[in-house]
Amino acid sequence: MSTGDPGCTATSQIHAGYEPQAPYRPIAVPIYQTAAYEFPDYASARRMFALEEPGFTYSRTGNPTVAVLENRIAALDGGVGALATATGQAAVAVALLSLVRGGQHIVASSKLYGGTVDLLTDTFADFGIEVSFADPADPGAWRAVVRPTTRAFLTESIGNPLATLQDLPAIATAAHDAGVPLVVDNTLATPALYRPLDHGADVVVYSATKFLGGHGTTLAGAVVDGGRFDFAAYPDKWPQITRPKRRYGGAILWERHGHGAYLALARSKYLHDLGPSLAPASAAQILQGLETLDIRVARHGQNTREVIQFLAGHPAVAAVHHPSTPGHPQAELLARDFPAGAGSVFSFDLAADQEHVGPFIDRLRLFKLVANVGDTRSLVAHPASMTHCRLSPEQRAGAGITGSTIRLSVGLEAAADLVADLDLALAPLAGVAEPTGGPLAAVGHAGTGA
Ligand SMILES: Cc1ncc(COP(=O)(O)O)c(C=O)c1O
């Protein structure tokens, strides 16, 4: 069963990247719990360390269990390869550091996960990397902030927390006109709903902690390379890929690895030097989750439709931020690019002041107050005081987040139980809510920015 995209097949999520090997032919991917590997001989060790011969040397830069996960995610996304990391945060950092250095610049969506904003505006700022934020609904705004030093565009295919969509091919064209790759965080969509490489992206990143693993047990991340960005077309922009490097014995990564050069750099330099490597036992957990990805995502989507229908008609709800709501400004993008839906992480605004947020959340029983999404369990969060608490008031306003915005990650429980939970928690608010004038269609979509 596929949830809509022919590239994400149930077969690939179960089989891609793994063939049982003799003598035991284990049907499940074995966990190679080893830090290092014995070299067959001295000459091989020399060649492998010089990156002249492929192979596992030390699990910081590669491990057979982790490699199956990498190949499986690359297959699901239609990439030439992938790199697994210890967390999604590490995946975003490694993907960008492989493109951008101090004194250079990133153009990023103004509607991003708060941890990514922290990385860009604080840690990367410490490194001398600059960032300009642009409205994902306005590709022209991205072009307007491009500088000669720009080296990457970054966005989320479905924005966290407002389920923001964008015209990705238009943003990809703006990136390519600027001579830089487009990096897309596909965490909330997964390849079951959307494959960014099919829509113009060059690199895809994941927090595999969320839907790819799906069970809320394990932190992981991934960087997938589409292998199409032509670094050789702008050799002066990408010396790390197109010029001889002492680190590689004077070799040029582009000559040695061709369209695999970007990932070779990410692995041999950033994974090697910074060390945010995925543990093999964690890779096995994510692999197990991946096997049921499309079925889970379909059920998350079905439950989300029922929850949204309930919230949209509730007098204590001022707005529901999901492209599937009637009259939503991104309804056309949803119909064009997301035939299987825009996912199960979205936000809604209470029609009441922030002082009512805490009591509302504390009345919930099934929706757990958790700083995570993409779990089998339904989760609730308050972005302004949790995931997006370090954003400035201007950044929060730009992201469309108010003090009354509540984020939900709809899980796999019975939809009727989820609706009943929300119903009980919202009931006392119906009295204090500002009159909304009826069902959501008439309320609008405050804060979506479009
Ligand atoms: C869209 C998105 N990207 C990246 C991350 C970071 O992933 P991790 O928590 O696995 O480091 C998150 C975490 O919530 C996220 O929602």
Please report the pLDDT score of residue 8 as a whole number.
Answer: 59
Ligand 1 centroid, distance to 52 Cα (angstroms)? 34
pLDDT over threshold 60, residue 186: yes
Ligand 1 centroid, distance to 113 Cα (angstroms)? 7
Please report the pLDDT score of residue 275 as a whole number.
Answer: 98
164 within ligand 1 shell (Cβ under 6 A): no
Q: Kindly compute the dihedral angle of the four CA atoms of residues 180, 185, 189, 192, in this order, to the nearest 10 degrees.
A: 70
Domain with CATH 3.90.1150.10 in the chain: 295-435
Q: Give percent of the chain with pLDDT exceeding 70.
A: 94
221 within ligand 1 shell (Cβ under 6 A): yes
Band the pLDDT of 433: cuts 50, 70, 90: low
Please report the pLDDT score of residue 390 as a whole number.
Answer: 84
Strand order, beta sheet including 203-207: 81-85, 221-225, 203-207, 182-185, 150-156, 105-109, 130-134
Ligand 1 centroid, distance to 219 Cα (angstroms)? 9
pLDDT over threshold 90, residue 106: yes
Please report the pLDDT score of residue 448 as a whole number.
Answer: 25
pLDDT over threshold 60, residue 353: yes
Q: Calculate mean pLDDT across residues 230-253.
A: 95
Please report the pLDDT score of residue 439 as a whole number.
Answer: 36
Please report the pLDDT score of residue 285 as a whole number.
Answer: 98
Supply the residue whose CA is at minimum distance from atom 12 of ligand 1.
Answer: 207
Q: Calculate mean pLDDT across residues 186-198.
A: 98
418 within ligand 1 shell (Cβ under 6 A): no
109 within ligand 1 shell (Cβ under 6 A): no
Please report the pLDDT score of residue 9 as a whole number.
Answer: 82
87 within ligand 1 shell (Cβ under 6 A): yes
Domain with CATH 3.40.640.10 in the chain: 10-289
409 within ligand 1 shell (Cβ under 6 A): no
Ligand 1 centroid, distance to 207 Cα (angstroms)? 5
448 within ligand 1 shell (Cβ under 6 A): no
What CATH code would you report for 10-289? 3.40.640.10
Band the pLDDT of 440: cuts 50, 70, 90: very low
Strand order, beta sheet including 345-350: 317-321, 345-350, 405-409, 379-381, 368-369
Looking at residue 66, what DSSP letter applies? H
Average pLDDT, the chain: 93
Query: Are 412 and 361 contacting, i.e. CB atoms less than 8 angstroms apart?
Result: no
Q: pLDDT tens digits for 354-395?
A: 999 999 999 999 999 999 999 999 999 999 999 889 888 998
Question: C-alpha angle 35/289/157, rounded to 5°?
Answer: 100
Ligand 1 centroid, distance to 235 Cα (angstroms)? 32
Task: Give the residue carrying structure tokens 């964008």.
Answer: 166
Q: pLDDT tens digits for 288-331?
A: 999 999 999 999 999 999 999 999 999 999 999 999 999 999 99
Ligand 1 centroid, distance to 406 Cα (angstroms)? 18
Q: pLDDT tens digits for 125-176?
A: 999 999 999 999 999 999 999 999 999 999 999 999 999 999 999 999 999 9
Instruction: Give SS3 for 222.
Output: strand
Tokens of 86: 């210890």
Query: Are 370 and 381 contacting, i.e. CB atoms less than 8 angstroms apart?
Result: yes
Category of 275 on φ-ψ map: left (φ > 0), alpha (ψ -120 to 50) or beta: left
- List, as own/partner pairs, every contact residues 54-62 make where C-beta atoms lie below 8 angstroms and the sequence separation is at least 24, other chains included: 59/34, 59/35, 59/277, 59/280, 60/271, 60/272, 60/275, 60/277, 61/267, 61/268, 61/271, 61/272, 61/277, 62/267
Band the pLDDT of 337: cuts 50, 70, 90: very high
Supply the residue whose CA is at minimum distance from atom 14 of ligand 1.
Answer: 372
Compute CA distances 235 → 230, 253, 270, 287, whole Å: 9, 12, 21, 37
How far is it, in rounded angstroms, from Cα 314 to Cα 350? 10
Angle (deg, nearest 10), helices 415-426 and 293-312: 30
Please report the pLDDT score of residue 104 as a whole number.
Answer: 98
Ligand 1 centroid, distance to 423 Cα (angstroms)? 29
207 within ligand 1 shell (Cβ under 6 A): yes
Pick the CATH number of 295-435 from 3.40.50.970, 3.40.50.300, 3.90.1150.10, 2.60.120.560: 3.90.1150.10
Query: Are 63 and 56 contacting, i.e. CB atoms less than 8 angstroms apart?
Result: yes
325 within ligand 1 shell (Cβ under 6 A): no
Pocket test for ligand 1, best of 96, 111, 187, 389 (most atoms within 8 A of CB): 187
Ligand 1 centroid, distance to 89 Cα (angstroms)? 6
Band the pLDDT of 444: cuts 50, 70, 90: very low
